[in-house]
Amino acid sequence: MARVLSIAGSDPSGGAGIQADLKSISAVGGYGMAVITALTAQNTRGVRDVHVPPASFLAAQLEAISDDITVDAVKLGMLANAEVIRTVAGWLARTRPPVVVLDPVMVATSGDRLLDADAESAMRELLPLADLVTPNLSELAVLAASADSGEAPPVVAATWAEAIAQAETVSARYGVRVLAKGGHLAGDLAPDALVDAGTATIIDFGGERIATTATHGTGCSLSSAIATLVAEHGDWPAAIAEARRWLRESLRHGEALGVGGGHGPINHFAGLWARGGIRTAPMPTEIEAEWWADIAQVRREIDELPFIRGLADGSLAREPFLGYLTQDAHYLRDYARVLAEASRLAPDAAGQAFWANSAHGSIIGELELHTGWLGPEAGTAASAPPDATTTAYLDHLLATAQRGDHAVLIAALLPCFWIYTDLGERLAAGEFGEAALDPAHPYASWLATYADPGFAVATREAIGFVTRAAAGASPEHRERMHRAFVASSRHELAFFAAPLAAPAAAATTAGAVTA
């Protein structure tokens, strides 16, 4: 992120000066800083007063920044008088920031002077220290006029061709790129042009004039946005084109702000807000903690199930255990299909690979274990069809997959990873009694699968994918993810309860769970 310093005046109405600069830098994605050269008492109608603090204090602000912070770009705005200009020029010559954009503010949109008349020659000394200067038509005329005293007063360009000619003069004389701005041109167009005499290039940025009175601070905002974007990628024409697109969007929404009765401000964040930028979002780690807490009751009920207790101490009869594995085998076959669908819908290659790999693991690793358990010695349970509980869980997953929303789907897939890993780790840690650690435990190899460190790693990854997707989702979308996650967790509880529940009770449990 570009660290951009604005050295400019303060506009308490918030539309121009450092207030506009900080908003503009932020709006186009930079980190904004501001050293204040002067305070103005102004509103949208005009400037009432200007107070310029001692130049020594300006120098102190500048040194405080450069002593500590790497500055990627500097934007210069209102510099008030010759002493301010010389202080800034001295600091620039010493610190040599990589990008310097100079908006040679002389007169406000309202017509009030913001630069002492006798400071214009000091401004000329500053020009060679800039990489780009962005004068409006009257500022361009001042800079294009000969510096020799006694010359005729500057003539403001009346046509775009005249403006370009003046920009060529300025660029050649001071060895600086010039962005000529047509905001004050008469007519339906508001063109800008990047003129570089050094490379003999003129790049025209055409554009219709936007019918609005909200033009206070357009020059401040444009120059700050260009400085930020150039620091970001180093391409001047591209930075100007991007900054103009953002400025025009912000200009269109300025009047709707209803700020002041004169030339109101542009709406710097209109586009960002429209695209959803004002909402705060929880961090992935916060979502992980919240969602896990939200299924605490479900997890407690799973812990208390006779099936889990019997599994832990080895007292679980073989028949319900094999019945459970048979249902699990049915489950895993479709679970793998749903994981494959999550892979197909994944927005990036990392997700695509992870969910496909999980689908593979689900088929190979676990079905192999079940083929062993459910092999020759399997009882009648081995051939049983999916029961109501299994069917309900799978219907929930398959319907979620069918709706085609990747984020909601992976939220629905997560409890199977997370609850099993948690249970496996706690069984292996002896939390349900020492019997679960005994190698002679009748279901030892089954217990080992779920305590497998590889499975724990996959679970961490799955949690990461789901919580990052949830953090980036809109609140409504995140809530749909959360509902799918909680629904699957309840299905997990029903699934663990089913083997030891009476058939009728099992059907009721399944029926009570809805997606």
Ligand X SMILES: Nc1ncnc2c1ncn2[C@@H]1O[C@H](COP(=O)(O)OP(=O)(O)O)[C@@H](O)[C@H]1O
> Which residues fall within 8 angstroms of residue 455, CB to CB, at 6 or more apart?
417, 420, 421, 424, 449
**Contact partner, 17, from ligand MP5, ligand X, none, Cβ < 5-8 Å per class:** ligand MP5
Closer of 20 and 473 to ligand MP5 (Cβ) = 20
Q: Smaller CB distance to ligand X: residue 227 or 413?
A: 227
Part in contact with ligand X (CB under 6 A); list of ranges 181-189, 282-290, 340-348, 477-485:
181-189
Q: Which residue is nearest to ligand MP5 (CB)?
A: 17
Per rule CB under 6 A, is residue 215 in the interface with ligand X? yes
Partner residues linked to 205 by β-bridges: 192
Task: Spell 210-225 as b/e; 16+ CB within 10 A means b.
Answer: eebebbbbbbbbbbbb
Q: Which two tokens stand for residue 324?
A: 């459970």
CB-based contacts of 443, cutoff 8 Å, min separation 6: 311, 314, 316, 321
Residue 166 interacts with which of ligand MP5, ligand X, none, CB < 5 to 8 Å by class:
none
CB of 223 to ligand X, least distance (A): 8
Contact 155, 120 (CB under 8 A): no
Footprint on this chain of ligand MP5 (rule: CB under 6 A): 8-11, 16-17, 40, 77-78, 105, 108-109, 114, 216-220
* Alpha-carbon gap, residue 475 to 487, rounded angstroms: 18
Candidate residues 251, 487, 500, 501; the one interacting with ligand X per rule CB under 6 A: 251
Long-range interactions of 202-208: CB distance < 8 A, separation 24+: 202/164, 202/168, 203/237, 203/240, 205/240, 205/241, 205/244, 207/244, 207/248
Residue 16, contacted partner among ligand X, ligand MP5, none, CB below 5-8 A by kind: ligand MP5
- Angle (nearest 5°) at CA 140 between 134 and 144: 125
Partner from ligand MP5, ligand X, none binding residue 411, C-beta < 5-8 Å depending on class: none
DSSP-based helix, strand, coil % in the chain, nearest 5: 60, 10, 30
Q: Which amino acid is at 17?
A: G
Q: Select the binding partner of residue 209 from ligand MP5, ligand X, none (C-beta < 5 to 8 A, by kind).
A: ligand X
- Among 209, 426, 468, 480, interactor with ligand X by CB under 6 A: 209
Judged by beta carbon distances under 5 to 8 A according to partner kind, the member of ligand MP5, ligand X, none in contact with residue 251 is ligand X
Site for ligand X in 129-168 (CB under 6 A): 136
The structure tokens listed for 174 are 């001071």
Residue appearing with tokens 């010759």: 82
Q: What does 9 bind: ligand MP5, ligand X, none (CB cut-off 5 to 8 Å by kind)?
A: ligand MP5
With respect to ligand MP5, which residue has the nearer C-beta, 10 or 421?
10
d(CA 30, CA 189): 30
Which alpha helices (DSSP H) does 108-215 contain, by range?
120-126, 137-144, 160-174
Please tell me whether residue 9 binds ligand X under the rule CB under 6 A.
no
Strand partners, 201: 196
In whole angstroms, the minimum distance from the beta carbon of 226 to ligand MP5 comes to 13
Is residue 124 a contact residue for ligand X (CB under 6 A)? no
Does position 210 bind ligand X by CB under 6 A?
Answer: yes
| Cβ 183 to ligand MP5 shortest distance, Å | 9
Residue 16 or residue 157: which is nearer to ligand MP5 going by CB? 16
Question: Annotated active-site positions, please?
Answer: 181, 215, 217-220
190 is a site residue for ligand X (CB under 6 A):
yes
At a CB cut-off of 8 Å and minimum separation 6, what does 452 contact?
Answer: 424
The tokens describing 147, both together, are 């510096």
- CB under 6 A: which stretch of 88-96, 151-159, 210-218, 431-439 binds ligand X? 210-218
Stretch that binds ligand X, among 70-78, 151-159, 206-214, 441-449 (CB under 6 A): 206-214
Whose Cβ is closer to ligand MP5: residue 10's or residue 489's? Answer: 10
- Interacting residue ranges for ligand X, rule: CB under 6 A: 109, 136, 181-184, 190, 192, 207, 209-210, 212, 215, 218-219, 222, 244, 247-248, 251
